Amino acid sequence: MSFMSKHRVPISWRLSITLGLMMMLLTVGLTILFYAEFVRVVDLSYSQELIHSCNTGSVSCDGEELQALIDAAETEEYKEMYSKCRETDDWVSFWAYLDMHHYHDGRTLHDIYDNNAEVVRLVNQVMPEESATAYIQYMRNGKTYNLMDMSSDIPVLGQEEEPVPAFEGYKDNEAVPPMIYKSQFGYLYSAITPIIDSSTGENIAQFCVDVNYDDVIHDRRQFLFNILVLEIVIAIVLIAVSIWRSYAIIVRPLKKVAAGAASFGIDKEGQTSKEIIDIKLKNNDEISDLYNEIRQMQSRIIDNTEYITRVTAERERMQTEMDLAAKIQSAALPKPLSENPSFKVSALMTPAKSVGGDFYDFFMLDDDHLALLIADVSDKGVPAALFMMSAKIRLRTRAREGGTPAQILTDVNSQLFQSDNSGMFVTVWLGILDINDGNLICSNAGHEYPFLRRKDAGFSMISDKHGPALGMFGQSRYQDYTLKLAPEDVFFTYTDGVAEANKGDNELFGLDRTRDALNSAKATDPESIIRCVSDAVNGYLGDSEPYDDVTMLCVMYMGSGDLR
C-alpha cells in the first residue's frame, strides 16, 4: 500500500526501549541494590552492638560473686524463702533475707546481687534500642535458671526460665554468635557471652542481650518505604517522558485508525454502515496491521450482518414458542391434593431444556384410591413435550375408567401405537394405592426400578417385572404386582435423569448413589426426601449441564384412620 515504508520497525521494540528498560532499571535495580545493602548494614550494626554489649557485661561481672549467688540459690532454705515471698508478693522480706546472709568476703547476698545487677543496668542504658534488655542466666542439669534481669519488676534469682534455643549451641567457654529465634515474647535478636571465673577459668554463667527483632523489621520497612517513594517520583518523570514519546509513536496513529473505525457503525436509519475505513498512515508496524485487519473485519461484518439478523429473529421466535410451551407444560402438572391424613405425596420435575419429555401425575380415582404416575418420553424438546401431553391425557382418562394398572397400560399402549407414527415411545410406572389397607397395585412399562423404605429401615430397590415401553409394540401385555404398605412406609420412583446423571467423565450418578442419597435424608417426609436426592444430583453434576430431564415422585403411606 502507499503508506507502507520499506523498513519495518515493530511497535513492540519502541515500547520496550522507551518504557521497559527504564522502569525495569528503576523498580528492580534500585530496589535490590539499595535494600540488600541496607539490610546488610543494619544487621551488621545490630550484631556488632549485641556482641559489644555482651562482652562488656560479661567482663564487668564478678564471677566469684555470681558463683556465690548461684550456690545460695541452689540451697533448699533459699528456694523455700523465694517461693514463699513470690506467693505473698513480700519482696521486702526477700531483700531482708539476702541482707542477713554472708557468702563472699563478708558481703551479704544483697550487696553481691546489687553489685552485679548494676552491670546489667548499665548495659541496658547504653543499648541503642529501648526494646533491648540484658540479663544473666546459668544452666544446671540441662535446665536454665535466671540470676538477674533488670527488665523484670521482681527478683528472678534462681527462677527456672524457658530454655533459649541459642543455648543448644553453647559449650565450654565459647560465645554464641547473635542469632534470631522465636521466644514467648516474640522474635528476638540475641547474643550470649560466657562469664568466666578469673581464678578458675571456668564458665560461671552467661551474659545475654536481646533486641526485639520487630524493631529491625520496622527499620527495614521504613527504608523500603523511602525507596518506594523515591521510585514513584522518578517513575512519574519517566512516565511523563514515555507518554510524550508514545503519543508520537502510538497515540496519534491509533487516533486516526479509531476515527476511521468510528465512522463504521449504525446509521440514522438503524442500518449497518457500508463505508469501509480509509485513512493514511506513515508507520509500518502493528498499527498498520491493525488497520488492515479492521478493513477486512468491516467487510466481513457487512456480508454477515443480514444473515445474523435473520437468524436472530428466527431464534427469538423459537424461544418465544419454547417459553410458551414451558408455561403450558408447567400448568399441566397436578396441583397439590387437599389434606388427606392417609398419605403424603410430593414430586419434582426439572427439564434439561425449556420443555421436557418427563411427566408425573397423582390424583384420586375415588374416595379410597390414589393414582400415582411417572413417565419418560424417549425424546426431548417440543416433540417429546407434545407426545408427553398426549400420553398423559390418555393415561389419566383411561385410569378413571377403572381397571388395574396393567390393564390401563395395555389399553394406552394400543392407542399410542395406532395413533402416533413419530417413532417415539414412553416408559411408565403406574400405581394405584388403596388408602384404607395400604395395598399398592403397580405395573411397570420399561421404567426405572423404584425404591421402598419400610418404617425404621433404609431404602431398598424393588426389582419389579418390566413390560415394553408404551408405543413400541402394538400387542404388548403388562403384569400387576402388589406392595403392602404399612403406616409410614415410603415409596420413591424417578426417571433415568437421576441415575444416569453424568458430569462429563462417563461415570453415572448410579443406583448406589441414588440409594445413599435417599437414606441420607434427615427428615422422612416426601418433600424432604426429594430435596435431598435433588441436592445430591446437583452436587454430583457441579457446573456440568444436565443431559436429561430429572423427575421424582415420592409418597408416604400414613395408614387409614382405623389403623391410626
Q: 436-489: per-residue pLDDT in tens?
A: 999 999 999 999 999 999 988 899 999 999 999 998 888 888 999 999 999 999
- Residue 3: per-residue pLDDT: 43
Q: Which of 232-246, 387-401, 531-545 has the lowest mean pLDDT?
A: 232-246
Query: Is residue 266 predicted with pLDDT exceeding 70?
Result: no
Q: Average pLDDT, stretch 169-188?
A: 71
Q: What is the mean pLDDT of the chain?
A: 81
Q: How far apart are CA 284 and CA 11, in angstroms?
A: 9
- Residue 383: per-residue pLDDT: 78
Query: Is residue 426 predicted with pLDDT exceeding 80?
Result: yes
Q: Which one of 63-77, 114-128, 287-301, 379-393 scores highest in mean pLDDT?
A: 63-77
Q: Average pLDDT, stretch 230-243?
A: 72
Map residue 108 onto helix, strand or coil.
Answer: strand
Burial class (CB in 10 A: 0-12, 13-18, 19+), 523: exposed
Asked whether the beta carbons of 368 and 437 are under 8 A apart, the reply is: no
Q: How far apart are CA 527 and CA 372, in angstroms?
A: 16
- Residue 451: per-residue pLDDT: 96
Percent of the chain with pLDDT over 90: 25
Query: Is residue 228 predicted with pLDDT exceeding 80?
Result: no
The residues near 509 (Cβ < 8 Å, ≥ 6 apart) are 498, 499, 500, 501, 502, 536, 537, 540
Residue with the bigger pLDDT between 205 and 173: it is 205
Q: Average pLDDT, stretch 209-235?
A: 77
Which residue in the block uniquely carries the three cell numbers 416433540? 383
Asked whether the beta carbons of 501 and 540 are under 8 A apart, the reply is: yes
Q: Name the strand (E) or helix (H) holding 516.
A: helix 510-519
The CA distances from residue 327 to 336, 353, 355, 377, in Å, are 18, 13, 9, 19
Q: How far apart are CA 337 and CA 354, in angstroms?
A: 26
Q: Average pLDDT, stretch 31-38?
A: 79
Q: Name the strand (E) or helix (H) holding 393.
A: helix 381-400
- Residue 564: per-residue pLDDT: 42
Q: How far apart are CA 291 and CA 276, in angstroms?
A: 11
Q: How far apart are CA 536 and CA 542, in angstroms?
A: 10
Give 308-346 as a DSSP string: HHHHHHHHHHHHHHHHHHHHHHHHTSPPPPPP-TTEEEE
Map residue 195 onto helix, strand or coil.
Answer: strand
- Residue 563: per-residue pLDDT: 44
Q: Which of 34-48, 59-73, 242-256 has the lowest mean pLDDT?
A: 242-256
Query: Is residue 169 predicted with pLDDT exceeding 60?
Result: no
Q: How far apart are CA 552 and CA 359, in angstroms?
A: 9
Q: How far apart are CA 120 and CA 135, in angstroms?
A: 6
Dihedral class, residue 334 (left if φ above 0, else alpha if ψ from -120 to 50, else beta): beta
- Residue 360: per-residue pLDDT: 92
- Residue 1: per-residue pLDDT: 43
- Residue 64: per-residue pLDDT: 83
Tell me the pLDDT band of 245, cut-offs 50, 70 and 90.
low
Percent of the chain with pLDDT over 70: 80
- Residue 159: per-residue pLDDT: 86
Q: Which of 45-49, 225-229, 282-286 has the lowest mean pLDDT?
A: 282-286
- Residue 371: per-residue pLDDT: 95
**Model-level pTM greater than 0.85?**
no
Tell me the pLDDT band of 173, cut-offs 50, 70 and 90.
low
Query: Is residue 270 predicted with pLDDT exceeding 70?
Result: no
Asked whether the beta carbons of 525 and 558 are under 8 A apart, the reply is: no
Query: Is residue 411 predicted with pLDDT exceeding 90?
Result: yes
Query: Is residue 160 predicted with pLDDT exceeding 50?
Result: yes
Q: How far apart are CA 225 and CA 229, in angstroms?
A: 6
Could you give the count of Cα atoms lying within 13 Å of 324 in the half-sphere of its Cβ?
Answer: 6
Least Cα distance to 99 among 90, 107, 91 occurs for 107
- Residue 165: per-residue pLDDT: 60
How do strand 369-377 and strand 426-434 relate by DSSP bridges?
Answer: antiparallel
Tell me the pLDDT band of 306, cut-offs 50, 70 and 90.
low
Query: Is residue 5 predicted with pLDDT exceeding 70?
Result: no
Query: What domains can be seen in the chain, in order of their start residue?
Result: 57-212 (3.30.450), 263-331 (no CATH), 337-557 (3.60.40.10)
Burial class (CB in 10 A: 0-12, 13-18, 19+), 494: buried
Residue with the bigger pLDDT between 274 and 54: it is 54
Query: Which tens digits make up the pLDDT trace of 79-124?
Result: 899 899 989 988 889 888 888 887 777 788 888 888 888 888 888 7
Tell me the pLDDT band of 326, cut-offs 50, 70 and 90.
low
